[in-house]
C-alpha cells in the first residue's frame, strides 16, 4: 500500500471537505487531477492493498473513487491491475461511484476501463472542466448500489437483417424521448413557473441519442426523417472536442429533441476508425445524453458489437419466428459467447409474433437460454404506411397494438428508475442492475 498523499490548495478544510480517493502511484497524474477538481473537494492519493480496501474506503469515506487508467510503458500490467481494483471496489464499496482517469490520446486506457465496468472516464489534463462536471453529476446522484454508474444505454441486435430491429429502435427511442421531454418540461416549468417549450432547447441530458449503426446504413435516420451531415466517423475524428457543447450543436435531431448519430454513407470512412475510438464515441454519447439506444442490426464488426454489448446496460436480441431468423440467432449467440459476452446479460424480443406460427416466444427464449423481454405483433402494413408518409406509428395511433408492445418495453426500461429517483431524471434507467463483472 502506498503512503497517503493529500492534494489540495488548502489543508485547513480537511475535516469538513468532500474527500475524493485517487488509487494511483503516479504523483504527476494526481496533481493534474487535483488541479482539475479545484475546490470540489480534497483529493487523497492511496492504493490500498486488496485485503485492506474495504477498511480504508470506510475510513476515508470518499464521495468518489478515481482509478488510474493511464497506460505506462514502465508498467505493462498497470491496466489489468486497475481493472482488478475496480472489481474489488465494486464488491467492497458498491455505493461509491467509480471514475476512470486516463488520457484521450491513449484510448487503450479508456477501453480497459469500459471493459472493467467503469461508466465515467475523465482526462484531467485535457479537459479539467469536464472532470469537474463529472464529479458534480456523480455527487448529485442518489446513492445506492453502484450509484452513479448506470449505463443509461440499450443495445439492440437483430438476429439477421430484416427482422425489424431498426423499426423497433426508432419507435422505442421516440416513446422514451417523449417521456424525457414531458418530465423535463414539468421540471423546468415548475422551476420557472411556466410550461417549457417542447423539443427546442432541450439539454442533452433530456435527449435520447440513437446510435444508428445498423445495415442498410442510415435506416433509423431515414425513418425519423432527420437530416444531418455529422456522422459516426466524424465524431471519432473529433474525439478531443466531443463535449456537451459540440454534441448539442452538431447532432442531427427531431423536433422533439431526439438525436441520431449514423454511420457515414461512404462506409469506407469507417476503416479509419479504430475500435478504441468507436467505443469512446459511444461513451461520450452515454456521458452527455439522457439515454443512448444503439441499433446494430446487421453491423458486421463482431468485435465492436461484443465490446458494445459488454459496456451497454441492456442488450436485447431481436428475432422473429422464422427458421432463418432462429438459425441466425443461434449463430449470433455463438459469436457473442466466443467474444466473452455472457448469455445471462442478454434479453430476447420476438417481433411479428403470432403463436400460430409454431414455437411460442417463451419456448424460443427457453430454447436459447435467454430471458424473454417482450413480444411485438405483426403490423407491417400499418408501420410501412406511416413511414412512407414520414411519420412513426406511435405518432399516429398511440393505442395500436404494436405501439402498446413498444410502450411495454419502455415501461420495462423505466420502471425501477421511477421508483428510485426523484425529478425528471426518474424517467430513465438509474438504479437498474448492472452487468456482472468479468472474471
C-alpha grid cell for residue 3?
Answer: 503512503
* Cα 132 to Cα 123: distance, rounded to the nearest angstrom: 11
pLDDT at 17 (0 to 100): 62
- Would you give the distance in Å from CA 333 to the centre of its chain? 21
Q: Which residues contact 285 (CB under 8 A, 6 or more apart)?
A: 209, 211, 247, 261, 292
Contact, 399 vs 390, CB < 8 A? no
**Confidence (pLDDT) at 118:** 84
Instruction: State how far the Cα of 389 lies from the Cα of 41, in Å rounded to an integer.
Output: 54
Q: Are 148 and 141 in contact (CB under 8 A)?
A: yes
* pLDDT, position 426: 31
How far is residue 299's CA from residue 161's CA, in Å, rounded to a whole number? 9
Altogether, the residues listed in the chain come to a count of 439
Torsion from C-alpha of 57, 58, 62, 64, nearest 10 degrees: 60
What is the structure's pLDDT at 90?
Answer: 79
The candidate with the shortest Cα–Cα distance to 330, out of 339, 341, 319, is 319
Chain centroid to CA 25:
30
* Predicted local distance difference test score (pLDDT) of residue 185: 65
Sketch out the chain's domains with CATH numbers.
5-140 (3.40.50.2300), 153-427 (3.40.50.300)
Segments in the chain below pLDDT 50: 1, 9-16, 143-151, 186-187, 189-198, 416-439
Amino acid at each position: 500500500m502506498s503512503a497517503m498523499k493529500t492534494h489540495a490548495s488548502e489543508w485547513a478544510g480537511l475535516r469538513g471537505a468532500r474527500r475524493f480517493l485517487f488509487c494511483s502511484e503516479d504523483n504527476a497524474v494526481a496533481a493534474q487531477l487535483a488541479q482539475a477538481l479545484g475546490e470540489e473537494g480534497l483529493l487523497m492519493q492511496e492504493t490500498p492493498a486488496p485485503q485492506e480496501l474495504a477498511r480504508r474506503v470506510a475510513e476515508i469515506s470518499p464521495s468518489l473513487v478515481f482509478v488510474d487508467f493511464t497506460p505506462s510503458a514502465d508498467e505493462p500490467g498497470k491496466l489489468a491491475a486497475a481493472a482488478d481494483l475496480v472489481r474489488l471496489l465494486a464488491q467492497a464499496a458498491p455505493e461509491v461511484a467509480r471514475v476512470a482517469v486516463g488520457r484521450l490520446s491513449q484510448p487503450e486506457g479508456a477501453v480497459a476501463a469500459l471493459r472493467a465496468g467503469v461508466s465515467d472516464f475523465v482526462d484531467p489534463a485535457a479537459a479539467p472542466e469536464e472532470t469537474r462536471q463529472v464529479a458534480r453529476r456523480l455527487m448529485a446522484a442518489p446513492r445506492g448500489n453502484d450509484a452513479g454508474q448506470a449505463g443509461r444505454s440499450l443495445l439492440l441486435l437483430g438476429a439477421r437483417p430484416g427482422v425489424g430491429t431498426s423499426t423497433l429502435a426508432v419507435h422505442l427511442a421516440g416513446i422514451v424521448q417523449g417521456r424525457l421531454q414531458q418530465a423535463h418540461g414539468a421540471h423546468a416549468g415548475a422551476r420557472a413557473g411556466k410550461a417549457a417549450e417542447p423539443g427546442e432547447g432541450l439539454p442533452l441530458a433530456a435527449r435520447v441519442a440513437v446510435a444508428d449503426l445498423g445495415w442498410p446504413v442510415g435506416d433509423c435516420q431515414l425513418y425519423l426523417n432527420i437530416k444531418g451531415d455529422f456522422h459516426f466517423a466524424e465524431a471519432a475524428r473529433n474525439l478531443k472536442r466531443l463535449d456537451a457543447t459540440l454534441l448539442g450543436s452538431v447532432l442531427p435531431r427531431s423536433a422533439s429533441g431526439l438525436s441520431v448519430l449514423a454511420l457515414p454513407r461512404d462506409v469506407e470512412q469507417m476503416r479509419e476508425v479504430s475500435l478504441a475510438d468507436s467505443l469512446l464515441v459511444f461513451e461520450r454519447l452515454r456521458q452527455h445524453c439522457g439515454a443512448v439506444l444503439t441499433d446494430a442490426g446487421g453491423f458486421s464488426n463482431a468485435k465492436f458489437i461484443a465490446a458494445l454489448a459488454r459496456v451497454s446496460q441492456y442488450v436485447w436480441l431481436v428475432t422473429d419466428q422464422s427458421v432463418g431468423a432462429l438459425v441466425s440467432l443461434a449463430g449470433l449467440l455463438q459469436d457473442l459467447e466466443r467474444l466473452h459476452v455472457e448469455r445471462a446479460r442478454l434479453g430476447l424480443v420476438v417481433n411479428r409474433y403470432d403463436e400460430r406460427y409454431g414455437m411460442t416466444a417463451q419456448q424460443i427464449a427457453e430454447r436459447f437460454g435467454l430471458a424473454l423481454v417482450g413480444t411485438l405483433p405483426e403490423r407491417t402494413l400499418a408501420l410501412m404506411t406511416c413511414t412512407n408518409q414520414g411519420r412513426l406509428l406511435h405518432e399516429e395511433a398511440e393505442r395500436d397494438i404494436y405501439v402498446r408492445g413498444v410502450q411495454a418495453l419502455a415501461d420495462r426500461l423505466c420502471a425501477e428508475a421511477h421508483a428510485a429517483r426523484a425529478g425528471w431524471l426518474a424517467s430513465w434507467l438509474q438504479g437498474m442492475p448492472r452487468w456482472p463483472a468479468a472474471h
